[in-house]
Amino acid sequence: MINNITPRTAKPDELTSLLRTDLPDLGEIRVSVVETSPDRSGEADTLTRYLNQIARWPRLGAEEELRLGRLIKAGKDADGNLTPAGQVAFEELVNRNLRLPYHAAKQMRVPREEMMELVGAGNVALLAAGRDFDADLGHRFSTYAFWGIRSAVMRELNFLRRTVRLPRNLHEQLSKLRKAEAALIQKLGREPEEEEVAAFLVCSPEKIIELRSYQQHSQSLDAPLGEESETTFGDTLKDDDATTPAAHAEAADFKDALREVLAQLTPRELEVTRLRHGLDGEELTLDAIGQLQGVSRERIRQIEAAALRKLHLGIRR
């Protein structure tokens, strides 16, 4: 839960962290976390504590929400950063909408031990929605924020479901890494370097490099077994729940939509995207792609940013 705003029904010394779910402080966004039990035996208690604590924050009425939204909009400097007054309004808006990520996660009907993973992903999206909310457009914050939160929750669920399970402690570390990278991308407006992520998580850059190597090489169920093979790793696993014809049709529709989105990219944008995100194999750094393309690291970053904007708009359509 974001600190420095005390809900009307809670005692200040009882306000344990909620929003950060396994993340350290987000700079000017002061958040903390409900710690999870290393052996997962206390997961139910963790979820119960989370629900009890967010319940202490009263729901916002329409007029209060409009007031906070306008304070946030007015409380930004020329660079778009929140002023102290804007920060206070932002924190109250977010804290009093912490139910939204839980409701989005609950719809996924996951085991309790995975619930906080999904809630954490939703909370990162909640932060982004709180910063961008424009109350004067006439819609409620919950309507504006919920679909972004739900998308983040579904992406996290997709990660949990579509990769071969790693040891629990390593899986938790990779989860922290993903959330830290997402928070830093939101804060910095670009992909963070190893040193920045290491400072954020209070660990060594070597540890981040090690985790990213696991992240890159954890075998996706959709990854081909060889460069010229159409057989995927998932095809070699026993399928206890055979895919229905409807699911096959849905998958085909998704692939068609994906092709349409990718077709919007220029040849260079497509090439940078393929190399940067490992669509053909290993993910490359900005420096490595710059050397291949004969341009600077910053130019590759600009090309990647332009491609991601096009992809984001295409997916939203």
Average pLDDT over residues 136-143: 85
Q: What integer pLDDT is reported at residue 89 of this predicted model?
A: 93
Tell me the CATH class for 12-162: mainly alpha
Q: Which tens digit of pLDDT belongs to each residue from 227-263?
A: 444 555 444 444 444 444 544 554 555 555 556 666 7
Q: Tell me whether residue 251 is exposed, middle or buried, using C-beta atoms within 10 angstroms of its C-beta: 0 to 12, 13 to 18, 19 or more.
A: exposed
Q: Is the pLDDT of residue 40 over 50?
A: no
pLDDT at residue 70 in the model: 92
**Model pLDDT, residue 162:** 58
Q: pLDDT, tens digit, for every residue of 105-131? A: 988 888 877 888 889 889 888 988 898
Residues 175, 214 contacting (CB under 8 angstroms): no
Share above pLDDT 90 across residues of the chain, in percent, rounded to a whole number: 10
Residue predicted with more confidence, 35 or 234: 234
| Full DSSP string of 144-192 | HHHHHHHHHHHHHHHHHHHBPPPPHHHHHHHHHHHHHHHHHHHHHSSPP
| Amino acid letter, residue 196 | E
Taking residues 290-295, what's their average pLDDT?
84
pLDDT tens digit string along 140-166? 898 888 888 888 888 888 777 655 556
* 185 or 249, higher pLDDT: 185
Q: Is the pTM of this model over 0.75?
A: no
Q: Is the pLDDT of residue 71 over 90?
A: yes
With CA atoms as reference, report the closest residue to 278 among 267, 265, 289: 289
What own/partner pairs with CB < 8 Å and gap ≥ 24 does 295-301 have? 300/272, 300/276, 301/190, 301/191
**112: β partners:** none
Question: For domain 244-316, which CATH number applies: 3.40.50.620, 3.30.2290.10, 1.10.10.10, 1.10.4160.10?
Answer: 1.10.10.10
Would you list the domain boundaries of the chain? 12-162, 244-316
